[in-house]
Structure 1
């Protein structure tokens, strides 16, 4: 069991009380894995398998919310709403990959348990479409996720999700709107095989994680754009889950390269903090404002001599930051600041607790390191 400072737990419980939720201070015992599921790329699925997944997602969009989280109306919204509350401690931090591993797994469980989906969560191998997202078959209007946004609000008008009314976003806003997209082939280029290979060639998590978050991660969000580009409310586009499953696959493959070391390799800061980010050369990413990891930015005196190796904190207004017009990045009064549980300092460890407001049981980062454990899946 994982010890947790009493003050941290009390603060966390107070922060979630407004939503009628509770966050356990300790994880539950992990169940044994009976039979591994194999997650496969979308491009390898049969037409029947694609339709089964799309139908299950549509089912979540019709199933009433059970989370009680701010703004959620459906089970699909539950995941977006949980992401909204956790954004500040789930990005540009050490738990970025473990958090999203549990987040995507929770979505997979909901598809299976609430909507009868019998397959595994598929991923979108974006290396196949890097630099040309607009031509990807995953955007098919019949057996895909619909195409680019159109009109003044960039609403998707094709595909199975064209008529979904999303009540969350952009950012922290609660506002009915369509699923919107602004596809950018240029932004998607950071999903290229060469960028992924550069990440895979690292040997430490402190180098691997920011490489993935800055390159392939930015490519998927920036390449799809609009809702997907908003770091708070991005799960409002169902492509989010296939994108992050692909990132999880990259991590799992990297771990398999040296499992003895990498299934225990964790680190990084617990809160977004530019000065605490790892240093080193990172591949070009696709973040808003043209601010990839490692971009040389002008200093206050105007000289282009400062190389930033991370994103500026949210809301700072720094060049390329996420506090852009229309993104609603300022946390409102009814959204409490998320608390870090299980890690009293600012270094992410294996005892760090990942929590999703009751969508699934809380888990430590240590429990999430091996997909073949209680998570019970592997990749093709």
Structure 2
């Protein structure tokens, strides 16, 4: 069996490489769903649907980084297997655009992902994804809508080098992971806003995968500082407390000069409705994340343990440049 070892690259693609990646994403948006995941019509939707159903066990928990590592890899594999993509998975090095997401090359209408939302619904107004009808969201709702954005340059300041470096200088996983999830993670979601800001349905914006590839790169770099221990270092809770509304970054992670807008950040209700099945946790009795914790993706790829995704040179077979 032929195994590829793709690179995950910065968004320094040639124009041809940019078109190739976007064309592959558009291909996923045309291919019909076949896994029966709640609300999905296309292969692209399946990723959003799988993410929505596991929101409360994939965020503010120990498996946050491992889960999203496998999730981004599964998406990249779908681009290749389903849509014959042969390029690399790009990541958005958000430190370069921190505080100025609205001017990022990624929001270019021709060679990027389109720009900000407009009109009463905040629909993307230009670019390759402007006419996509998303059947999932906001949140757990099954509802046809456009891909929405509300770009916020202030929120993107949580990707400033000072914030990233603060996390990278931490020596324990139980300090590093919450710092990444609370700071840089919030920069991409809040900086793009709307669809991306909803923790449940955020993969409905294709920028999600470039954002989370960048977060995975940060984890990859952090692990490489001490591989003998950090390829095995995991911990944290298995269940998140999402009963309260969640808005902006938690205290202590906002960079100097950044403060909440008047009236505070817009809260997002993460409470799972009764008609959405409660996700199950496999491999981990109790409420402590271990290397045996099973990462579950509803048949998109084979289920894997946290242990199997700790080192990207294993079956994941990729590296960052």
TM range (shorter): over 0.9
Give how far 1:340 is off. 1.1
Aligned to 1:292: 250
Q: Distance in 1 between matches of 2:248 and 2:164?
A: 19
Aligned to 2:153: 185
Q: Does 1:40 align with 2:9?
A: yes
CA distance 1:74–1:186, change in 2 (3 Å): same
Question: TM-score, normalization: structure 2?
Answer: 0.93
Q: Does 1:71 align with 2:39?
A: yes
Q: Distance in 2 between matches of 1:290 and 1:247?
A: 18
Aligned to 1:213: 181
Aligned to 1:373: 314
Deviations 1:77-102 (A, max 9, x none): 00000001000000000000000000
Give how far 1:330 is off. 3.3
Match of 1:270 among 238, 243, 247: 238
1:172 and 1:330 in contact (8 A); partners too: no
Q: Does 1:102 align with 2:83?
A: no
Q: Distance in 1 between matches of 2:84 and 2:143?
A: 30
Aligned to 1:233: 201
Deviations 1:81-134 (A, max 9, x none): 000100000000000000000000010011000000011211000000000000
Aligned to 1:341: 282
Aligned to 1:161: 129
Deviations 1:40-99 (A, max 9, x none): 011x11111010000000000000001101110000000000001000000000000000
Q: Distance in 2 between matches of 1:184 and 1:288?
A: 17
Aligned to 1:315: none
CA distance 1:289–1:35, change in 2 (3 Å): closer
Give how far 1:289 is off. 3.8
CA distance 1:120–1:339, change in 2 (3 Å): same
Give the structure with higher Rg (CA): 1
2:186 and 2:249 in contact (8 A); partners too: no
Gaps of 5+ in 2: 255-262
Gaps of 5+ in 1: 1-30, 275-286, 297-318
Deviations 1:212-244 (A, max 9, x none): 001100000000000000000000000000000
Aligned to 2:28: 60
Deviations 1:262-314 (A, max 9, x none): 0000000011149xxxxxxxxxxxx9644424379xxxxxxxxxxxxxxxxxx
Q: Distance in 2 between matches of 1:295 and 1:156?
A: 29
Aligned to 1:280: none
Superposed structure 1 runs of 4+ greater than 6 Å apart? 319-322
Deviations 1:11-46 (A, max 9, x none): xxxxxxxxxxxxxxxxxxxx9x9452211011x111
Q: Does 1:330 align with 2:294?
A: no
Q: How many equivalent pairs are there?
A: 311
Aligned to 1:307: none
Match of 2:101 among 133, 145, 154: 133
Q: Distance in 1 between matches of 2:66 and 2:295?
A: 8
CA distance 1:35–1:177, change in 2 (3 Å): closer
